[in-house]
Structure 1
Amino acid sequence: MADLRDGFGFSGACKKRQTSLVGCIFVVALIGLLANVQICYGFEPRSHDPLFQLSGVPLSPASAMMASPVASHGCTDMPEATYTLLDVVENALCHNPKTRAAWANVKAQAAQVGVAKAAYLPTLTGSVQAIKDHSTSQGTNVVPFYIASDSSYHNDTLTLNWVLYDFGLRSATVDNAEKMLASAMASQDNVLQTVFATAVKDYYSALVAQKNIQATTEIEAEAKRVLDAAIVRVQKGVAAISDQLQAKTAYSQAVFNRNKAEGDWQSALGTLAIDMGQRPDDSVVLIESDNPAIPESEMVRSVGELLQSAQKAHPALVAARADMEAAQANEQMVRAQGRPSISLVGRYNANNQSQSSGVGQPYIGANGRDRYVGVQVDVPFFEGFSRTYKIRTAQAQVEGKEANLADVELQVAVGVWTSYQSLKVSAENLHTSQDILDSAYDAFKAAESRYQKGVTNILEVLTTQTALANAQQQRIQAIANWQNARIQLAASVGRLELSYLVNAMKSR
């Protein structure tokens, strides 16, 4: 970059070496040509980024797996045989189209910063014309004449333009581009957090559906035993046929619930496969992971502290603030576009077009040279009031971004508050659901035993059986809700990292 800048500082070099303007222009042309050759053919790793704009942009895929140096195996192209929670999240970060689109947007905005900074450099334009000319000239006034000419000639032009001062236009343009890049990077972070949290939620939804199949299968087996017992009692004449019919109805309902659970499980696996950028019919086999843990400091902090932390670090807020600042810079850029600009201009032209000394005179070979250097001042005196309305448009855009920032602040606050309350409720329900399950199981076993002894009727058995089925599903859902609520809380604060899951896997 230093060599490039030195090359463009041709004025001082020309004075030191006492070279001509044409020579200086060709030096600049050579530098530009070499730069273009590198860009086209990629002789160096950074040849596609001559102004080094991508050096400060976090590398993807998935921002180096959410900046976690301890990811299990990173991004892979081949599908997994089985998936833990960590595998699901990694595949979602790597292959979800939303993460790839966010990274592409970051690269595009980084390139726009390069475009804005390139305005500080001179532009050099070359034009080469090769012409085949046939002309005739005739007259009948005093002395008749007829002249025909066939000639081939070339016309070569080299033009230099270097904006020296523009009253803040280029600086405002660079500021706008850098703020847009900051917004794109924060938006990418927000997309990664959202994809992360969605993958976790859908993983636990699929896991709940998978466990519901086990629970409904067990309930189906219990209902079959109750039906068998009712059939025996009816055959012995100690129970009415209505007992058998009610038990048969309960058994059929258990089969129906198991079939439904299997359908829900397949739907949940399809959703999870889509999260990972796969087809919904791809095979996904889940392995239950140990409970992922978020830092204890996050668990014990008050909701007020969480809200304050989210207001500072949540990527959605960072992106909204950068958007507002970019809009402010855009307003300054629009204002500066209506100001004068001062440019250094230079031109060199060479041609060998044949010339004639007058009408009726033959064409003879000639060589022409034209060169100049000067300062050009452009002053936009009047633009039909368009500048006024462009400024008002930019001001309105700033107001819109300010309102959007306020809305995002509210949305982030609502997300933190909701996630915090959900975690509290989930922790309480985790203990309560176990008590409910234990009581329901004991009640069913007692009713089943009493029915077999003829002490109670079938209604008590069926009632306790239904209560047990509900308690099992509540327990499964409570565990998943509690596990998911902790991840969602970290996501709502904007501090979700892959290391949370990695540490959990290490502690198994």
Structure 2
Amino acid sequence: MKLIVFFLTFSFAFSLTMEEAIQSAIEKNPEIRSQRHAVSSAFYSYRADTNLYLPNFFASASFSRLSQKQSLHIPPFGPFPPLSVESAKQNYRAFSIGLREVLYDGGAREGRVNISSSEVRLQQDLYGEKLEDIKLQVIKAYLDVLSSQEIVDVYRKQLEAIDSQYRRAEAFYKEGLVAITDMLQAKVRLAEVQRDLRKAEGDYSVALANLSKLTGIPQEKLKDLQLPQIADYQVPDLESLYLKALERRLILRAYSERVYQAKKLQDIERSKYLPKVFAQAEYTYSDQNPVISPKGVYTLSLGLSLEFQTLEPYYRVLSRLEEEKRARWELENLKEAIKLEIKKAYEDVLTAKDNLRVAEDALRYAEEFYKLSQEQYKNQIISSTDLLLAEASLTQARKNKVLSYYEYLKAYYELMRAVGGEI
């Protein structure tokens, strides 16, 4: 079935639009705020890892005291007498400062930077997903308020109709045209409608509270909302919707980043088997030996180091490889889950469309039947029981029309959410 979709809204200066409600939720919702901090944290971690390419600064200073002075004794040699030289002070100071730059580390730094950069993208995608989830929650809560408000209006109309019917039955009874049972039936029905109206008003109050919680807007400002109008719209075929979801859904990109990170972690573990090349510039000072001069000297070094713990990096690589495989399977499982989500949302839209059409037809028939029943009751062709049944059918038809209408809207927005954007 092909459908054509568009939405119109009544614009009132005093009413709160759905877009304004969504924007308020984005600004005030604690889940979204929390996710923003996760993005900031990932960004600062990335900035920290980019500094791994800069030289490493080091400095140290110490003051030492020996238990006693040390001396160097040279025995007599030929005509030369014995010689004793103080080789270390009892109290001495030492100081060093320098820079160390790793020229090559087997790709470990590059891997860490790539992972932290990927984590920024991942957290941004999760933030986008959370944003869309909150938007859908607000939209459904917004529609629930409108729906429950209309249900209250339906019961108020029913209350007016039953009250009018009760007064008419009472008048007919006083004139001796109907039995007292007609008046009593109308009175019982009036009490039942009052009960239903009270429940509907309670549901409306709960819907307002829920929307207020999501948006942070006081309930008194949520009583004037814009009413969406709906007509036919076209839903593409399932395959095209699925392809759009593969391109748009941020959660798929986030899971892809996890696969990428697992691969880079393998590279970092492999780098442990590779040598590290470094250059170092250092200044050292020590006055420990009083006969050595100068006390401070500069040193330039170029070195190579290799250090690993037997097979530990090898098994770490295998562990990361298994993590990559797990991440890939999770990604594939997510794709299938999204495909199923789209199919369900697609069928829900078509079903909601059919239900709305049936509800509209049923309402039209119920209105005609109720008008006819009113005329027949006035002419004493049918009993009060028949008129009450006709009125109950009309109320139920009105209620079903309201519920079907908003279920249709919700189904459309849920399909949009499943696809990741406009259909």
**Do both proteins adopt the same fold according to a TM-score greater than 0.5, normalized to the shorter chain?**
yes
Deviations 1:429-469 (A, max 9, x none): 33322221121122122223322322111221121121111
Whole-Å separation in 2 of the counterparts to 1:338 and 1:150: 45
> 1:310: Cα distance to partner?
1.0
- Give the aligned partner of residue 491 of structure 1: 417
Whole-Å separation in 2 of the counterparts to 1:122 and 1:134: 33
Whole-Å separation in 1 of the counterparts to 2:93 and 2:401: 87
Change (3 A) 1:134 1:170: closer
DSSP 3-state at the match of 2:53 = coil
- Give the aligned partner of residue 342 of structure 1: 277
Structure 1 unaligned residues grouped into runs of 5+: 1-79, 139-148, 358-365, 501-508
Change (3 A) 1:337 1:212: farther
Whole-Å separation in 1 of the counterparts to 2:298 and 2:205: 76
The percentage of counterpart residues that share the same residue type is 18
1:114 is aligned to 2:47: yes
What TM-score results when the alignment is normalised by the length of structure 1?
0.70
- Give the aligned partner of residue 172 of structure 2: 233
1:332 is aligned to 2:270: no
1:450 is aligned to 2:376: yes
> 1:207: Cα distance to partner?
0.8
> 1:347: Cα distance to partner?
2.1
Whole-Å separation in 1 of the counterparts to 2:368 and 2:60: 93
Whole-Å separation in 2 of the counterparts to 1:200 and 1:119: 46
Q: Letter of the aligned partner of 1:373 in structure 2?
A: L
What TM-score results when the alignment is normalised by the length of structure 2?
0.83
Q: Letter of the aligned partner of 2:349 in structure 1?
A: L
Aligned 1:90-101 pairs, distance under 5 A: 90-101=23-34
Residues 81 and 284, structure 1, Cα contact 8 Å, conserved in 2: no
Change (3 A) 1:347 1:291: farther
Q: Letter of the aligned partner of 1:368 in structure 2?
A: K
Residues 97 and 282, structure 2, Cα contact 8 Å, conserved in 1: yes
Structure 2 unaligned residues grouped into runs of 5+: 1-12, 70-88
Give 1 or 2 for the bigger CA radius of gyration. 2
> 1:241: Cα distance to partner?
2.6
Runs of 4 or more above 3 Å deviation: 126-129, 133-138, 153-156, 289-294, 353-357
> 1:277: Cα distance to partner?
4.0
The partner residue of 2:223 within 285, 306, 316 is: 285
Aligned 1:210-225 pairs, distance under 5 A: 210-225=149-164
Whole-Å separation in 2 of the counterparts to 1:222 and 1:126: 90
Whole-Å separation in 1 of the counterparts to 2:41 and 2:347: 39
Q: Letter of the aligned partner of 1:175 in structure 2?
A: N
Whole-Å separation in 1 of the counterparts to 2:14 and 2:103: 62
> 1:127: Cα distance to partner?
4.1
Whole-Å separation in 2 of the counterparts to 1:458 and 1:331: 82
> 1:406: Cα distance to partner?
1.4
Whole-Å separation in 2 of the counterparts to 1:317 and 1:192: 15
> 1:315: Cα distance to partner?
1.2
Change (3 A) 1:134 1:302: closer
Residues 440 and 467, structure 1, Cα contact 8 Å, conserved in 2: yes
Q: Letter of the aligned partner of 2:31 in structure 1?
A: K
> 1:93: Cα distance to partner?
2.0
Q: Letter of the aligned partner of 2:284 in structure 1?
A: N
Change (3 A) 1:494 1:292: farther
Residues 347 and 372, structure 1, Cα contact 8 Å, conserved in 2: yes
- Give the aligned partner of residue 199 of structure 2: 260
The partner residue of 1:195 within 120, 130, 134 is: 134
Aligned 1:400-479 pairs, distance under 5 A: 400-479=326-405
Whole-Å separation in 2 of the counterparts to 1:399 and 1:355: 61
Whole-Å separation in 2 of the counterparts to 1:471 and 1:122: 77
Change (3 A) 1:394 1:104: same
Residues 97 and 277, structure 1, Cα contact 8 Å, conserved in 2: no
Whole-Å separation in 1 of the counterparts to 2:245 and 2:235: 15
> 1:293: Cα distance to partner?
9.4
Residues 68 and 90, structure 2, Cα contact 8 Å, conserved in 1: no
> 1:284: Cα distance to partner?
2.5
DSSP 3-state at the match of 2:342 = helix
Q: Letter of the aligned partner of 1:438 in structure 2?
A: R
